[in-house]
Structure 1
Amino acid sequence: MSVGRFIGGVGALLWRSSDNRYLLLQRSPHKDYAREIWEPVTGRLEQGEGFEDALYRELQEEVGLTAQPLCILGTTHFYRGKELAENELIGVVYLCHYTGDAQPHLSEEHTQACWLSATEAFNLLTDATPPTLWTRRVIERAEAVRKTLSLETLFSLAQQGYELG
């Protein structure tokens, strides 16, 4: 087996603890993959960039917000279209804490943004496409983490950062 060459990706599920809601974005109908589906903030790494740096950059580019990563929810591996090497993506998905009240400023990549409870999100995410099922799993994982670990524990972990060098 040869050494892999992948697209690096990052996801950020923003959680607003003041009302226990998650931010979901609807992808533009002009996107090259997963048009018009609902998702957390996502994006690709730039050459020479680490996951955490890409996380902060994507938050600014896609929604104009700053949030604190609380934990890594998981990793992801999929093909952005056909199963070709140039479409293969590996990524890291973070749960991020947002404490502000500013509305997201959408880039051209998305047409809508909604702050939703987990129940509202699950009611919105009903089609059985892989990208929608992925978003449901991200929210399910966030709910499980939040029920298992206290906010104090998550903040303590977050202070250490995630880049191990």
Structure 2
Amino acid sequence: MSQLVCAMFIEGDKALLVRRAAHRKWSPLLWDMVGGHVEKDEGLDVALVRECQEEVGLTPLAFNLVATLFEEDDRKHKSPFYVYAVRRWDGGRPQLLGTEHSELGWFRRSEIESLDLAMPAYRDVLLNGLGQV
């Protein structure tokens, strides 16, 4: 079973998203949350912090689980995506690290409604998260 963690960084009325690079096998060029696979014997919170540090140089300090999602074709729910709202972090402004993503941006509710997202179920989670500002 594969597990994934996703960080929904929220600052004011905006959420941070990253665009998956063109060479990525899953959902190339689509907007995604920061995150990735949980390694063997790694806790979800540890994986979340590690992925955020590796991808955008941020260390989540205050976060909570807000959703557990599954891809539409994962009918047996073998690969959960654990989505965390992150409202406090260390590391300043995000920056792209590595080659997984080609750009990043902060998006308001109105912009998120029209983005091409890596997972359609992200949209409701993002909109709900921004509705709690």
Corresponding position of 2:109? 118
Corresponding position of 1:90? 80
Once residues 108 and 69 of structure 1 are traced to their aligned partners in structure 2, the CA distance between those partners, rounded to angstroms, is 27
Higher relative contact order (CA 8 A, sep 6+): 2
What letter corresponds to residue 113 of structure 1 in structure 2? L
> Aligned pair 1:76/2:91, yes or no?
no
Once residues 93 and 74 of structure 2 are traced to their aligned partners in structure 1, the CA distance between those partners, rounded to angstroms, is 39
Once residues 68 and 8 of structure 2 are traced to their aligned partners in structure 1, the CA distance between those partners, rounded to angstroms, is 13
Shift, 1:101, TM fit: 4.2
> Aligned pair 1:27/2:20, yes or no?
yes
Identity in percent? 27
Gaps of 5+ in 1: 1-5, 148-165
More helix by share: 1
Is the Cα contact below 8 Å between 1:70 and 1:94 reproduced in 2?
yes
Corresponding position of 1:158? none
Shift, 1:37, TM fit: 0.5
What letter corresponds to residue 126 of structure 2 in structure 1? I
**4+ aligned runs moved over 6 Å, structure 1:** none
Change (3 A) 1:101 1:117: farther
Q: Cα RMSD between the aligned structures?
A: 2.5
1:9-158 alignment, distance < 5 Å: 9-17=4-12, 20-78=13-71, 88-98=78-88, 101-123=92-114, 125=115, 127=116, 131-144=118-131, 146=132
- TM normalised by structure 2 equals 0.84
How many residues matched? 132
Higher-Rg member (1/2): 1
